[in-house]
Amino acid sequence: MTESFGISGFEDEVRDYFEDQLSGYGQVRRDRIGSVVGAIEGDGPKIMFAAHLDEIGFVVKSITKEGYIKIVPIGGWWEGVLPSQRVVVKNRRGEKHIGTIASKPIHELEPEERKKLLKLKDLFIDVGVKKGFKIREKLQIRPGDPVAPVSELVRLSNPDLLMGKALDDRVGAALLLELATKISAHKNSIFLTGTVQEEVGLRGARTCARMVEPDVAFAVDVSLSRDGMGEDGEERLGAGVGIIIYDRTMIPDRRLKDWVIDLCETNNIPYHLTSITGGYDTGVIHISGFGVPSLAIGIPTRYIHSHGGIFDERDYEQVLRLLTLICERLDQKSLKEILS
C-alpha cells in the first residue's frame, strides 16, 4: 500500500484499495471528499480509529517552454531531501510519467551557490524532454496534475526494519485493515476510518467525525524515532507503541491517556511517551460535536516526509496488539470512568 499513488486530494488509488479490503468486514461508506469509514457495529461504545490515506507530494505549477515541470508542494517538504529523487506525474487520463527532481549541476554552481540549500523554486521535474518535444500534447500533462514520490517498500539487512515512502500514514492504514480481521464480530461499535487530506489540514477527519459521532477516538499514525537524528532516548525504533502526550492540534484526554498506559503496562506492551510539533487527525475529531475524548497512537518512524522512511515491524505488531485490546476492553464501564 505504501507504493500506491495518493497525494492529498488525489487519494483515489489507495482509497479504492483500502475500501475494497474493508468491504468484507462490515458496512463501508464514503464522505463527499473521499474518506472511507468501515463500520463494525455492536451495542457498545462507538470507538473511532483514524488513519490517513494521503501522502505528501506536489502538483504541477507550470511547464517551461523547454518542457521542464515546475512544482508546488502538497504537505510539508524540506528541500534538502528532494534533489535527484524519482517522482511520477499523473495526468487527467490516469497515465503516469516517471521523472526526476532536477536542478543545476554542481559544475555550474557559483561558489556562493554551493553554500546554500536549494529552494523549491530552483528545482524542476525532468520527465525526459528534448527540444521540440511538446509535453502538453504528447504526455497530456498540465498545471494542477498531481506528482507523487517513487520508492518501493523494501526490507533492510536488519530483517525487522522496512523502508519506503508514504509510511506517514500507510502504516496506520495497514494496521486498521489488520485490525478488521481480528474484530469482525464485536460487542462495541468499531469505526475504521481512512481519512483524506490530513497532510493539508486534517480535512477528512473533520467530515468523518460528523459521520461517525464517536464516543472516543484514536489517531493511528507515525511518531518520530529520534535515534535517526543521533539522539539517545526512548523515542527510537524497537521502543514499541508511541503514546502522544502533546501535539500542536490537541492535548490528549488525560483519563483516556492514563487508561491506555495502564492497558499497556498490564499486558506487557512496550510503550513510550512522545510529542510532535505537527498534528494528527484527532486534532479535529476531539472538538467535534460536544467533544470526543481522543488520543494519538504512533509507530516510531525515521525520516518521515521523505522517499525513505524506516520503521520496525516489531513496533507495528505491538501497536496492533494494543488496538485489539482497546476494542476488547473499552466497554461502557470503562467509558463512563473516562468521561467522569
Mean pLDDT of 240-268: 97
For 203-224, the pLDDT digits (tens) are 999 999 999 999 999 999 999 9
Same domain, 96 and 176: no
Mean pLDDT of the chain, nearest integer: 94
Note the pLDDT of residue 171.
98
Specify whether 172 is located in the same domain as 297. yes
Helix and strand totals (H; E) in the chain: 9, 17
| CB-CB contact of 274 with 224 (8 Å) | yes
Looking at 102, 120, 149, the residue that finishes a domain is 149
Q: What is the spatial distance between Cα 89 and Cα 96, in angstroms, rounded to a whole number? A: 6
Cβ(295)–Cβ(256) below 8 Å: yes
What sections of 23-118 are H helices per DSSP? Answer: 111-114
- Same-domain check for residues 136 and 210: no
Task: Indicate which residue of 11, 19, 55, 198 is catalytic.
Answer: 198
Confidence of residue 231 (pLDDT cuts 50, 70, 90): low
For range 231-258, the mean pLDDT: 93
Q: Is the Cβ–Cβ distance between 146 and 57 less than 8 Å?
A: yes
Given a cut of 80, whether residue 186 has pLDDT beyond it is: no
Q: What is the DSSP letter of 237?
A: T
Tens-digit pLDDT profile for residues 46-63:
999 999 999 999 999 999
Give percent of the chain with pLDDT exceeding 90. 83
Residue 156 inside a domain? The answer is no
- Among the listed residues 296, 298, 281, 295, the one whose alpha carbon sits nearest the alpha carbon of residue 240: 298
pLDDT in tens, 115-153: 788 889 989 999 998 877 788 888 999 999 999 999 999
183 lies in the same domain as 144:
no
pLDDT for position 200? 97
Residue ending a domain, among 149, 179, 197, is 149
Reply yes or no on whether 113 is catalytic.
Answer: no
- 172 and 321 co-located in one domain: yes
- Note whether 275 and 180 are same-domain residues: yes
Asked whether the beta carbons of 170 and 222 are under 8 A apart, the reply is no
Q: How high is the pLDDT of residue 117? A: 82
Q: Do 266 and 123 share a structural domain?
A: no
Q: CATH number, domain at 66?
A: 2.40.30.40
Domain boundary residue, one of 83, 117, 149: 149
Instruction: Indicate if 129 and 173 belong to the same structural domain.
Output: no
Same domain, 213 and 294: yes
Helix (H, G, I), strand (E, B) or coil at 155: strand
- State the total domains in the chain: 2
Retrieve residue 125's grid coordinates.
521535474
- What is the pTM for the complete model shown? 0.94
Does residue 157 form part of some domain?
Answer: no
Please give the residue range of the domain that contains residue 280: 12-55+165-339
CB 41 within 8 A of CB 214: no
